[in-house]
Amino acid sequence: MCSHYTPVKNKSQLHDTFGVEAPVSLGKPDMWPGYEGVFIRSHPHADVGDEAVPAREAVLGHWGLIPHWSKDGKVKGTFNARIETVAEKPSFRDSWRKGLRCIVPAIAVYEPDWRSGKAVPTAVSRADGQPMGVAGIWSGWRGPNGWVDSFTMLTVNADDHAVFKLLHKPQDEKRMVVILNPDSFETWLKGSESEALDLVRQCPAEVLRMTAPVSSE
């Protein structure tokens, strides 16, 4: 699972890699659950035939999906969603069923390397230095102070992954976020459920690099 990542903070990278204009605020420069950060979704009016409407939009959202039925907007443990249960878990199933898929722009995700017997904060990023597009789902919630968008990252099993099997405690199941190929962004956002599921897989280890130690601040 991922509970810490560095978001894309360069507006040009958001445009060049993800084809979106940056929102007014980019949120926190270092992301932890409960923080506000940027995620990318299909523009809700992209199919109206107006060429002035962009295909995608970048919006600010709460990291930790708030289901529409929440009474108070308080959630716990919804910053990651297991692909094996995303269609069943009450917090996630409506967003999955409605196809509310999104992309979370990230420079690196952080996981603990326990091979030394102690947790060493370790960054995982693309080896080519380009931003990562992490697959996620999103939801909207109307609270007492107005509308709130929120998102979660999808994860898959990584027990046999050359990079992620080195992370977390030896006895723990290894999980990794779903890192999309840039050429699959549009399919992830607008494709059918079966087309989206075809994209949910481990990212090849040779595409990634580990950097440690890193600051845990």
Q: Is residue 216 part of a domain?
A: no
Q: Is residue 186 part of a domain?
A: yes
- Give burial (CB, 10 Å; 0-12/13-18/19+) of 49: exposed
In this predicted structure, what is the pLDDT of residue 216?
47
Q: Is the pLDDT of residue 25 over 60?
A: yes
Q: Is residue 217 part of a domain?
A: no
Mean pLDDT for all residues in the chain: 93
Q: Is residue 161 part of a domain?
A: yes
Q: Is residue 165 part of a domain?
A: yes
Q: Is residue 95 part of a domain?
A: yes
Report residue 216 as tokens: 């845990």
Interval 44-70: pLDDT, tens:
766 655 555 678 999 999 999 999 999
Q: Is residue 91 part of a domain?
A: yes
Q: Is residue 142 part of a domain?
A: yes
Which CATH number covers residue 95? 3.90.1680.10
Task: Return the sign of the alpha-carbon dihedral for residues 5, 163, 187, 50.
Answer: positive
In this predicted structure, what is the pLDDT of residue 15?
96
Structural domain count, the chain: 1
| CA separation for the pair 136, 184 (Å, rounded) | 13
pLDDT band at 217 (very low <50, low <70, confident <90, very high): very low
Domain residues for 137?
Answer: 5-211
Interval 116-167: pLDDT, tens:
889 899 999 999 999 999 999 999 999 888 899 999 999 999 999 999 999 9
